[in-house]
Amino acid sequence: RPPRSTLSSSSAASDVYKRQTLDTIVENIRAAMLATLRDVAADASVSLEDAALLSVSLASAYLDLCRLLGIAPPQPVEEALDW
């Protein structure tokens, strides 16, 4: 890939669009993760231990996804899970 200084404006715009798309995907995954955790927490048949294990597993997967995509999480996982 050529250095950024030689990229056309349309290529730079494409990079911005791709970054915004990745950010949206990560935010949608975070929202789905939180909805799942809230549903599990509201389910009286799920033990606190199982809910905590799910929470840790989803948080780890979320951080792995952000690292894989090369982006910072839109919000710290600890904050996202603090309801």
Map tokens 């996804």 to a residue. 65
| Angle 50-56-58 from CA coordinates, rounded to 5° | 100
pLDDT tens digits for 14-62?
A: 777 777 788 888 888 888 888 888 888 788 888 888 888 888 888 888 8
DSSP state of 43: -
44-73 as b/e, with b when 16 or more CB fall inside 10 Å?
Answer: eeeeeeeeeebbeebbeebeebbeeeeeeb
Q: pTM above 0.75?
A: no
Residue 7 has pLDDT above 70, yes or no: no
Residue 13 has pLDDT above 80, yes or no: no
